[in-house]
Amino acid sequence: MIEEKENIVCPFCGCLCDDGVVKVEDNKIVGTRNLCRIGHKKFESAQHGRAESPRIRKNGELVPVTLEEAFDKAAEILVNAERPLFYGWSATCAEATQVGCELTEACRGIIDCTATICHAPSIEAIQDQGAPLSTLGEVMNRADLILYWGCNPMHAHPRHMSRYSVYPRGFFRKRGRKSRTIMVFDPRRTDTAKLADLHVQISPASDHMLVHTFREILNSYDVTHETVAGIPADAIRETMEAMAQHQWCILFFGMGLTQQMGKDRNIDVAIQLMHELNKYIGIRTTLMPMRGHFNVAGANITICSETGYPFAVDFSRGYPRYLPGETSAMDVLYRGEVDAMLNIGANPGTSFSNRALSHMAKIPLINIEPHNQQLLQISDVVFSPAMVGIECEGTAYRMDNVPIKLRKVVEPPENRLPDVVILTEILKRVKELKGKGA
Amino acid sequence: MDNKLYNLVTKEEKCYGCGNCVVACPVNAYNDPAVAGGKGPEQLDKVIMCVENGVIKILNMGLCKGCGTCIEECPDGAIGLEVNYTT
Amino acid sequence: MTTETELLIKNGIVYDPINNVDGEVRDICIRDGKIVDSVSAEAKVIDATGKAVTPGKVECHSHMVGITPTSARIMRPEDIRTRVSASTDVRRAGGGRTVPNTWELGYEYAKLGFTRAYEAAVTPLYSKEAILEFNQYPILNKGIFTLFGNNWFVMDYLKSKEQDKLTAFVSFLLKTTGGYAVKLVNPGGNEAYKWNAEWNCHHADDPVPHFGVTPREIIKGLCIANEELGLPHSIHLHTNMLGVPGNYEVTLDELNITKGIAVGSDSGRVQNTHITHVQFNSFGGDEWRTFNSKADEIAKYINQNDHVTADSGNVIYGDATTMTADSPAEWALYKMTHNKLISNDTEAEDGVGIIPFLYSKKSPVHSVMWAIGLELLLLTDPWKMFVTTDHPNGGVFLDYPLIYSWLLSKKTRMEEAESSHGWALKRTGLGGIDKEYSFYELVIATVAGPARSLGVAKREGHFSNGAAANVAIWDINPLEDDLSRDPQVDKLATTAYTIKNGEIVVKDGTVVSAPMTPLDVAHAHVDYEIQRTVEEELKTKFKRYYTVQFENYIVDPDLYLAKSDRIDVVSGKVHFIPYATQTEEAVK
């Protein structure tokens, strides 16, 4: 018999849609409703292609072992390491990250999350400028001007527009799409741009200039160039005037702004522009980073409340240190400092550079990942956990930092433990081994 | 299908499952308050379409009046109107 | 009964204001985490000869956990760097002054002799985050004040004049989001701010845009709901127009709203309104140039009226991080300083603002604010005015001993005043106040008063038999030392011993044990019918107001509140159900 489970939270992207319906028959996921194509695929494929668990590399081959043996081996690797790196945390729950922080501290290692290669510039800009933020419900209820800058939600966060920003009929925006103006700033004619009222097709890598030009106009300076970022100055002026006609504005920005030339400086000026719109024109303006993984915001929040810093936290001296560019994952790998690594809830196999990966291949690597991914080829201890949000519960944070409890839909396969349990077991053994050594 | 001037046709292979059409549709929003607030439909017998298994699925073609709002909100042409000329 | 759970504190100079004990040499006996009459000869003995022994202090208003402090931590790595602590066998690593990480907060509060603390403002939508943090917060008992002042449902029910539904909603929201008390921040004003940074509710009768209700109706409605439910704590009120010259009139006006509403709880409190960090709301003058202190007016009102208690919200010179749900106040600070501002508006609920701030001795305004806080504490009955800094808004909790020293000693206070800007004495009445706190009064303003006001005085905050054994032992002899000459700041800063539930957690300023302690959650019972009606209405409105599902908005008790003490309130009677017995119940 097919059972329909309601209000299921989708553990894929930062939208964290929580109105999903998942159809389960005989502990098998057979279908979904309301979830987008990506979310559906996440649930549909969750029970296929799972990595065997647990395995240890012996004589160059990953061979299945008992859980006990794998825990012991993982603890041994971490205790013998001088500078272990604990990376990932974006596709696991906040509870696991809490244990992860304790584990990092016990091993005097470095903890970093995937934000280090996506929205870290946003965090650094917030450290410079603060930020006017809001929750997605505020956008739904109040926004009449929505700016998407350097992001393409139609592909990356498919339900973002229909659920949170553009289409829902908000409390004060009763006509939904017709009550709102959409502007997209993107060098490409993306599917999001096709739906916009105005697509500003800027030349690549000139975002910083364009934001500054907006600020120039707002601060009553003359725009001296005829075109900026490939856009005629008059058109920019008209855009600014059009923006000023609105009441409540939000800027959603993505990788196109954070990982573009200028990085955190792009966000820095964008935040200043938002502050100035609030101050000079009296449109209420806020902004929001389009976070990728379903719990990357949660990784930042949890690591920050546990250690005081949001990412790239180094415990080698016993107390937390935070020096992005020095203690961030990519940098310690580039310098070859790391002598052991634990990866959880991330896939550096596809997102890290070859130089970082080649160092990872040299060192013992513990991998906690449910599926067969590229990184398994260089992993030394592999755990296949229960998938959080599908096979076990946990907390995740939406892109606006709202915490939502992930639900359990089906029972995990045999021998698949939740991330929290795996990390707690490793931590227990690490503490025992450290106690013996002292 | 019944003999209406307009009929909805869908191309599942093009659909992202974003739900723009589901939420934008005035009939859906009027019949189901959850849809008006951007959520997935709760009363399946009262809405024209919903997203199932990650792609668009027409549930009640009879409710459609052919306004075409859904087509405007699809960037990929996954949903369209078919015109049935009777004479 | 094993002897290990027994503890005898011998010959201490005991201060226990709830039992009218003012500096008597006597023994305190502890068994199984509770105060008892006597213990066996095998009990572990702490010699407290010549040392002051007080119940553990109670923090009634501090911003420690939740999305606000965490956003501030993300924004201010420079603050964490100012003070770092390495991990030991007992404690986790951490650091920070104005926004320390969760672990650090627990240890440092315990070192100051605190055994209970309340998080002052949590937006219900974000309460899971606060609870997750509190579950990682060692040593202290804790609770959450839930924000109600700008909630759409509250304003909806006030607009339709359905007080019974409002009462049921308050009960529902506290229960389902793990709250302990009703907090109002700038009632109505934040909703206005969400439309335009310059908008606010400027006085008690300034209507909220769209909803049309006034701050007066919100305060009154929530106070009545609070008393109808009989919650352990009264409403916790942050009045409108915080930080604006001349706001004392609004403060007095809004305090008067709840006068005459009968207290409906048997938790031991006598007030129906607790006004918080009142220093920021005791400003006179028309603008900053004519700025002066109206602390005397506020103190007069509070002394004359029993329906109010307050905490001071003192300013301490130095670096602070202002964070409050009062976004318009933070916006005003932003325009003044152009420092980095985080604001975060939450759908249908409340907002928040965070901005780093430096209180300077050279600033005339800051000097007056510094003096107002002390004036309030010195002029008001300590049973009604408690010491806080609204951490980290006025100053950092680590600096509490400085405030104690200024209260205990006029000499120390005047030294600070004279090194401040001249306004500290010209624009306030501080110079004319000769009062000096006795150690007993200090214990009232930091332990007994807050414990009674928060409704925990039946279980702790004193040394009666059966009370929780939360004890602070100080290396101070108030009977012999003249604290008015030398208030011994360093000894007020760390206890000789802090004892939590009969366990020694701090010894000579070092954390020796860090047990995890439960969170208090208030479960107020209302009529089943009305509760169901309200829940059905909420479910319908939720689809339009919120972007999360009703079912996912509710905090799952098993995942988040498994280790929480339940405060059951049935028709005004408070029943304390510790989590240990809850699991027993479940097993049965």
Q: How far apart are the first and last CA of chain B?
A: 17
Q: Which residues 6+ apart lie within 8 Å of A405 measured at CB? A: A9, A393, A394, A395, C128, C552, C556, C559, C560
Q: Are A153 and A191 in contact (CB under 8 A)?
A: no
Q: What is the spatial distance between Cα A385 and Cα A392, in angstroms, rounded to a whole number?
A: 10
Q: Which residue of B has its CA nearest to C544?
A: B37
The tokens of C129 are what?
């985050």
Chain A 38-97, residues with CB within 8 Å of chain C CB atoms: 94-95
Which CATH number is A51-118+294-391+408-433 given? 3.40.50.740
Domain count, chain B: 1
Q: Are C417 and C451 in contact (CB under 8 A)?
A: no
pLDDT value, residue C5:
82
Cross-chain CB nearest to B38 (options A20, A154, A162): A162
Q: What is the spatial distance between Cα A35 and Cα A8, in angstroms, rounded to a whole number?
A: 10
CB contact under 8 A, C73 and A310: yes
Which residue, among A116, A118, A114, A112, has the nearest Cα to A100 in the 3D structure?
A112
pLDDT value, residue C3:
43
Task: Label residue A219 exposed, middle or buried (CB < 10 Å: 0-12, 13-18, 19+).
Answer: exposed
* Alpha carbon A113 to chain centroid, angstroms: 9
Q: Which residue of A has its CA nearest to B72?
A: A195
pLDDT value, residue C523:
93
Which residue, among A229, A233, A155, A228, has the nearest Cα to A195 in the 3D structure?
A155
Q: Where are the domains of chain A?
A: 51-118+294-391+408-433, 120-289
pLDDT value, residue A437:
60
Is there a domain that residue B37 lies in? yes
CB contact under 8 A, A322 and C335: no
Give the HSE-up count for residue C425: Cα atoms under 13 Å, Cβ half-sphere.
Answer: 13
C551–chain B Cβ distance below 8 A for any pair:
no
How far from A212 is each of A159, A202, B5, CA to CA, in Å?
31, 13, 52
Is there a domain that residue B1 lies in? no
- The alpha-carbon gap from A267 to the nearest alpha carbon of chain C, in Å, equals 14
The tokens of A189 are what?
């004619």
Q: Which residues 6+ apart lie within 8 Å of C531 measured at CB? A: C168, C171, C172
Cross-chain CB nearest to B33 (options C544, C546, C549): C544
CB contact under 8 A, C546 and A137: yes
Chains near B (3 or more Cβ pairs under 8 Å)? A, C
How far from C73 is each of C64, C80, C81, C221, C351, CA to CA, in Å?
11, 8, 11, 35, 18
pTM for the model? 0.95
Q: Which residue of A has its CA nearest to C75?
A: A127
Pairing of strands A248-253, A145-149: parallel
CB contact under 8 A, A167 and B41: no
Is there a domain that residue B43 lies in? yes
pLDDT value, residue C2:
42
Dmax over Cα atoms in chain C, in whole Å? 70
Reading across the β-sheet that carries C318-324, which strands appear in turn? A130-134, C341-345, C353-359, C318-324
pLDDT value, residue C579:
82
Residue % of chain C over a pLDDT of 70:
98
Q: Which helix (H) or strand (E) holds A61?
A: strand A61-64
Residues of C in contact with A128 (CB under 8 A): 340
Chains near C (3 or more Cβ pairs under 8 Å)? A, B
Q: What is the spatial distance between Cα C75 and Cα C7, in angstroms, rounded to a whole number?
A: 45
Q: What is the Cα gyration radius of chain B? A: 12
Helix, strand or coil, per DSSP, at residue A158: coil
Is there a domain that residue B66 lies in? yes
Q: Which residues pair with B55 in a beta bridge?
A: B52
Count CB neighbours of A383 within 10 A.
28
Phi, psi of A396, rounded to the nearest 5 degrees: -130, 160
- Consecutive 10-residue averages of pLDDT for chain A (438 residues): 94 94 95 95 91 90 94 96 95 95 96 93 94 95 96 95 94 93 96 96 94 94 92 95 94 93 92 94 93 94 95 95 94 95 92 93 94 88 94 95 95 92 96 80
Question: Which ipTM value was assigned to this complex?
Answer: 0.94
- Helix C67-75 to helix A120-129 angle (10° resolution) is 90
Q: What is the spatial distance between Cα A198 and Cα B15, in angstroms, rounded to a whole number?
A: 23
Q: How many residues can be counted in chain A? A: 438
* Cis, bond preceding C392 (omega within 30 deg of 0): yes
Q: What is the spatial distance between Cα C536 and Cα A389, in angstroms, rounded to a whole number?
A: 27
CB contact under 8 A, A18 and C549: yes
Residues of C in contact with A248 (CB under 8 A): 195
Cross-chain CB nearest to C80 (options A300, A309, A317): A309
Q: What is the spatial distance between Cα B7 and Cα B25, in angstroms, rounded to a whole number?
A: 14
A133–chain C Cβ distance below 8 A for any pair:
yes
Q: What is the spatial distance between Cα A71 and Cα A69, in angstroms, rounded to a whole number?
A: 5
Domain of B28, in residue numbers: 6-83
Which residue, among C93, C107, C90, has the nearest Cα to A107 in the 3D structure?
C93
How far from C114 is each of A385, C80, C107, CA to CA, in Å?
41, 22, 10
CB contact under 8 A, A403 and C348: no
CB contact under 8 A, C132 and A164: no
Residue B3 has pLDDT above 90, yes or no: no
pLDDT < 50: residue spans in chain C: 1-3, 588
The CATH code of the domain that includes B79 is: 3.30.70.20
Q: What is the spatial distance between Cα A87 and Cα A327, in angstroms, rounded to a whole number?
A: 12
Among the CATH numbers 3.40.50.10490, 3.30.565.10, 3.40.228.10, 3.30.390.10, which is that of A120-289? Answer: 3.40.228.10
Q: Which residue of C has its CA nearest to B37?
A: C544
CB contact under 8 A, C345 and A286: yes
Cross-chain CB nearest to B55 (options A37, A140, A167): A37
CB contact under 8 A, A305 and C342: no
pLDDT value, residue B83:
85
Give one DSSP letter per residue of C195-239, joined into a string.
T-TT----STT-PPTTT---HHHHHHHHHHHHHHHT-SS-EEEE-
Which one of C537, C543, C545 would you mutate to disrupt binding with B, by most B Cβ within 10 Å of its Cβ? C543
pLDDT value, residue C321:
96
Q: Which residue of C has its CA nearest to A125?
A: C75
Q: Which residue of A has its CA nearest to B24?
A: A167
